Chain A
């Protein structure tokens, strides 16, 4: 019997190759997108699972409470927390500090800028799973002048030579020995490194106090024992913390590492889980559209199988066996499509990896994942085949064998519903993708309050020292250089904050959280900040090293009038507010602009140089800058970076989602139109008699084309009406957490609907014109 079913299936597929191809291609495209997104989602969900202590591994975070009542959430913790937790709480089995700070490394005549250098406690190997290739995990960090490198990093430095024992100089301050080589850490962990140094070197290299509560900058990871209760532990920790520092407004909490990747730390914000939902929904939409195509085409062409169903019932089949036959056919086509989808996945994976900034590989598929894909294929097969199987099995031999079944008539309502559903999903995708495009354009074009064009940013990992003024002088002598400033953060992405600022009448109990930027007197001219009140720093006024600029939001919060001349102090620097800058965006536009102050004291902490260029030939200008830097800092490994790139990187996730959705939307439209094309061809064939008779009675070609186009066009119009409120809801939800977003304009909805209608009309136009031009004589002769 199975052989009989298979024979009939394959002969039917070959009999109508175009429809068969449309079905298989459509399902394959849907399955391919499903596979790619499943790989992506699995990678996201598997974040940090490479560590065997995953189920007991937690990252400490702080909730800081300030004046205004809005809590501030941060993963950054102080150096003193680790010894505090390890010593005082038996629930804590192990605890380490983990801090990523770029360094400059020198070996022989090579100089490298290592962005992914981590400083960690010696028991890091007990907490994280690190696979050793050479060296002993128990002793490799015993000596504080040690470094662990990954294989890839070691190859860059030493080629094929044995790295163990080789000496590397860090930041021109200290020498370390390579004591171990480890395998490259997987990409899907928050705790990666190229080089790992003992935490003690933070003091040696950066002068950090390793037992200090005042500055938060590193991660604290803990392994908790099996019987540890998080709420009770948190209570105990915060009780002891309060006893140690009654003034503290900070509480400590433990967060399982399983949550870090997807959920935002601040419950008021969205995390990566929103992206997971967006992309998963899009993949489901696409798969649904492909399945609907299959259902539609199968039922529309059901008349071709009606006779067979009738005969089978006559010779002894019951309805159940007919259903099994057609479900089986659908399953086989689904698996065939799955095979093709595997090939397409292999073909498109590199492009997808580029779009998503991932390194996904089919060789990483686990047994569970593969079984999951097979399950998905089975579901697709059964779902797509369900309605056609039920519909076809209903045919009565008495109707079909006499030829009294009107072709395509009975499934017309179902087809309409399916086409409407298909285009509804497609239009929703189009609208959402357009708004993501719009948001990125909005971000690109929005006046952010500073000029980010033609500015180089160079990051120094060691002290700039007194040679900086020499450098500035030489750079400014170049005609291509307008301004040179130094700052501790790129002005477009400032991450530092403090609650220690004071002014007359401020809330000294709760404090106010300020973002801060340390920069010198050339900052305003270099990045073109707008001064709305007062003035910028002036190097002619030595007292300006103790003075401050604030942004408009800060001025409002401080509330002193006039603000210029108001006393302001932080970290022992007591000065005055000499200027107010217009609010500018210094972080992701998801966040509102918070109060900010700029100070020019402590520029020795500032290790970023921003150079404003003014040249027609930028490449030549950059070369000249590089030459000057080489003269002053010969060991500096020059890496060109633009402020505009730093800004763009903030929106990397949005760009990835936009690019993936762009292709999904195009594919959804393509599959929908492919289905519509096939359906319109089939229905045009069925409607030939009607159209020809209309023509005989005087209808023009234009009128007949109009009727046929309207027959399909009205379904897409209905889809538009359904899609718009749903899309409005999804877009509103997406932008809910953005403090600044592109307006939710009506024209986008209208354009998407009109676009879909236009494309649908174009799709059926060929068939409509062909039918309208049919010669009635040729048709009626064979009636």
Chain B
């Protein structure tokens, strides 16, 4: 599903050049649950942004669903992303001005789905996440765990083939964290590919394969 070949990413300012990723090559098969681990600053989030087509590599290639995504324009990447990828973030990243329903509905708007179909799909997902009773509430009115469930709902509402999770339990207590990890596991069991960035060993155990990064390079891999 995903293949990276000698991926690198260099951040440049006027005076400083930082190599966030250096010759990263690996593959992810469809239906895999992969955890990317490493200390702070090792390039995990940078890698996730590139895999999620949110950023371009400085060199190397990224193949997504057998297409070389590296030379794609921003518009092409946006199109590929909205059709195939869902994101879950550590700090939830819900839009404060939209209520739960409207937040979850957002990806479907960009897919051009009709209002009737959107409503049906969002209601279904909210039921699954057991948050439908709060659909008119705003993020500021929800607990952390509830917010993350909404974020997961948003990530899966468009039936993506890939979910990218960047420290999804980072801002949650253990109970809610485990809830979220169980949801991700269930999704994976249904066939959704999951790539999760974490430095939580407990969360990593939910995955079936772990890649360890250090200073922008893959130093080990365990299954």
> CA separation between A11 and B87, bound complex, in Å?
25
The reply to whether B87 and A396 contact each other, CB–CB distance below 8 Å, is no
Query: Closest residue to A304 on the B side, CB-wise?
Result: B96
Q: Is A56 an interface residue (CB 8 A)?
A: no
B94 CB to nearest A CB, Å: 8
Query: Closest residue to A307 on the B side, CB-wise?
Result: B93
Q: Given the complex, which residues of B lie within 8 Å of A15, measured CB to CB?
A: 97
The reply to whether A308 and B82 contact each other, CB–CB distance below 8 Å, is no
Q: Is A313 an interface residue (CB 8 A)?
A: yes
Query: Closest residue to A401 on the B side, CB-wise?
Result: B93
The reply to whether A11 and B93 contact each other, CB–CB distance below 8 Å, is no
The reply to whether B98 and A8 contact each other, CB–CB distance below 8 Å, is yes
Please provide the chain B residues from 41 to 95 with a CB less than 8 Å away from any CB of chain A in the complex. Answer: 45-46, 49, 52, 54-55, 74-75, 78-79, 81-83, 87, 89, 91, 93-95
Q: Is B142 an interface residue (CB 8 A)?
A: no
> CA separation between A313 and B45, bound complex, in Å?
17
Question: Which of B103-111, B123-131, B173-181 is found at the contact surface with chain A?
Answer: B103-111
Q: Is A320 an interface residue (CB 8 A)?
A: yes
The reply to whether B54 and A308 contact each other, CB–CB distance below 8 Å, is no
The reply to whether A315 and B54 contact each other, CB–CB distance below 8 Å, is no
> CA separation between A11 and B99, bound complex, in Å?
11
> CA separation between A314 and B49, bound complex, in Å?
10
Of the four ranges (under 10, 10 to 19, 20 to 34, 35 or more), the interface on chain B belongs to 20 to 34
Q: Is A397 an interface residue (CB 8 A)?
A: yes
Q: Given the complex, which residues of B lie within 8 Å of A781, measured CB to CB?
A: none
The reply to whether A402 and B45 contact each other, CB–CB distance below 8 Å, is yes
Query: Closest residue to A317 on the B side, CB-wise?
Result: B110
Please provide the chain A residues from 383 to 434 with a CB less than 8 Å away from any CB of chain B in the complex. Answer: 396-398, 401-403
The reply to whether B111 and A316 contact each other, CB–CB distance below 8 Å, is yes
One digit per residue, 1 when the CB lies within 8 angstroms of any chain B CB and 0 when it does not, for chain A 315-338 equals 111111100000000000000000
- Given the interface pairs A315-B154, A316-B81, the reply to whether A310 lies near B93 with Cβ below 8 Å is yes
The reply to whether B78 and A403 contact each other, CB–CB distance below 8 Å, is no
One digit per residue, 1 when the CB lies within 8 angstroms of any chain B CB and 0 when it does not, for chain A 281-319 equals 000000000000000000000000001101111111111
Query: Closest residue to A308 on the B side, CB-wise?
Result: B95
The reply to whether B109 and A1 contact each other, CB–CB distance below 8 Å, is yes
> CA separation between A11 and B52, bound complex, in Å?
30
One digit per residue, 1 when the CB lies within 8 angstroms of any chain B CB and 0 when it does not, for chain A 4-39 equals 100110011001000000000000000000000000
A249 CB to nearest B CB, Å: 75
Query: Closest residue to B112 on the A side, CB-wise?
Result: A1
The reply to whether A7 and B102 contact each other, CB–CB distance below 8 Å, is yes
> CA separation between A140 and B94, bound complex, in Å?
81
Q: Given the complex, which residues of A lie within 8 Å of B93, measured CB to CB?
A: 307, 310-311, 314, 401
> CA separation between A316 and B160, bound complex, in Å?
12
The reply to whether B95 and A311 contact each other, CB–CB distance below 8 Å, is yes
> CA separation between A501 and B89, bound complex, in Å?
97
- Given the interface pairs A314-B87, A315-B106, the reply to whether A8 lies near B75 with Cβ below 8 Å is no
Query: Closest residue to B89 on the A side, CB-wise?
Result: A401
> CA separation between A402 and B82, bound complex, in Å?
20
One digit per residue, 1 when the CB lies within 8 angstroms of any chain A CB and 0 when it does not, for chain B 138-169 equals 00000000000000001000000000000000
Q: Name the contact of A313 in the complex, choosing from B54, B91, B97 (C-beta under 8 A).
A: B54
Q: Which of B46, B102, B105, B110 has most A Cβ within 10 Å?
A: B110
Q: Given the complex, which residues of B lie within 8 Å of A403, measured CB to CB?
A: 91
The reply to whether B97 and A315 contact each other, CB–CB distance below 8 Å, is no
Query: Closest residue to B138 on the A side, CB-wise?
Result: A11
Please provide the chain A residues from 220 to 251 with a CB less than 8 Å away from any CB of chain B in the complex. Answer: none
The reply to whether B82 and A315 contact each other, CB–CB distance below 8 Å, is yes
The size of the chain A interface, using a CB distance under 8 A, is 27
Q: Which of A8, A314, A397, A402 has most B Cβ within 10 Å?
A: A314
The reply to whether B45 and A315 contact each other, CB–CB distance below 8 Å, is no
A399 CB to nearest B CB, Å: 10
Q: Given the complex, which residues of B lie within 8 Å of A12, measured CB to CB?
A: 97
- Given the interface pairs A312-B106, A316-B111, the reply to whether A7 lies near B98 with Cβ below 8 Å is yes
The reply to whether B82 and A316 contact each other, CB–CB distance below 8 Å, is yes
The reply to whether B49 and A315 contact each other, CB–CB distance below 8 Å, is no
> CA separation between A12 and B95, bound complex, in Å?
11
Query: Closest residue to B157 on the A side, CB-wise?
Result: A315
The reply to whether A11 and B54 contact each other, CB–CB distance below 8 Å, is no
B167 CB to nearest A CB, Å: 10
Q: Given the complex, which residues of A lie within 8 Å of B46, measured CB to CB?
A: 398
B75 CB to nearest A CB, Å: 5
- Given the interface pairs A4-B109, A320-B75, the reply to whether A308 lies near B81 with Cβ below 8 Å is no
The reply to whether A397 and B102 contact each other, CB–CB distance below 8 Å, is no
The reply to whether B91 and A315 contact each other, CB–CB distance below 8 Å, is no
Q: Given the complex, which residues of B lie within 8 Å of A396, measured CB to CB?
A: 54-55
Query: Closest residue to B87 on the A side, CB-wise?
Result: A314
A16 CB to nearest B CB, Å: 11
The reply to whether B97 and A318 contact each other, CB–CB distance below 8 Å, is no
The reply to whether B75 and A11 contact each other, CB–CB distance below 8 Å, is no
The reply to whether B111 and A8 contact each other, CB–CB distance below 8 Å, is no
The reply to whether A4 and B89 contact each other, CB–CB distance below 8 Å, is no
> CA separation between A311 and B78, bound complex, in Å?
12
Query: Closest residue to A4 on the B side, CB-wise?
Result: B109
B16 CB to nearest A CB, Å: 15
> CA separation between A658 and B15, bound complex, in Å?
55
One digit per residue, 1 when the CB lies within 8 angstroms of any chain B CB and 0 when it does not, for chain A 254-286 equals 000000000000000000000000000000000
Please provide the chain A residues from 123 to 138 with a CB less than 8 Å away from any CB of chain B in the complex. Answer: none
Q: Given the complex, which residues of B lie within 8 Å of A307, measured CB to CB?
A: 93, 95-96
Q: Name the contact of A398 in the complex, choosing from B54, B79, B95 (C-beta under 8 A).
A: B54
The reply to whether B102 and A317 contact each other, CB–CB distance below 8 Å, is no
A413 CB to nearest B CB, Å: 14
What would be 19 A-B contacts, judged by CB atoms less than 8 Å apart?
Answer: A8-B97, A11-B97, A307-B93, A307-B95, A308-B95, A308-B97, A312-B110, A316-B79, A316-B81, A316-B82, A316-B110, A321-B110, A396-B54, A397-B54, A398-B49, A398-B55, A401-B91, A402-B45, A403-B91
Q: A4-B98, A313-B78 are in contact. List 15 more A-B contacts (CB 8 A).
A: A4-B105, A8-B97, A11-B97, A12-B97, A308-B95, A310-B93, A315-B110, A316-B82, A317-B78, A317-B110, A318-B74, A398-B49, A401-B91, A401-B93, A402-B45
Which 5 pairs show the lowest CB-CB distances between chains A and B? A316-B82, A316-B110, A318-B78, A11-B97, A315-B107
Q: Which residues of A come within 8 Å of B, CB atoms?
A: 1, 4, 7-8, 11-12, 15, 307-308, 310-321, 396-398, 401-403
Q: Which residues of B come within 8 Å of A, CB atoms?
A: 45-46, 49, 52, 54-55, 74-75, 78-79, 81-83, 87, 89, 91, 93-98, 102, 105-107, 109-111, 154
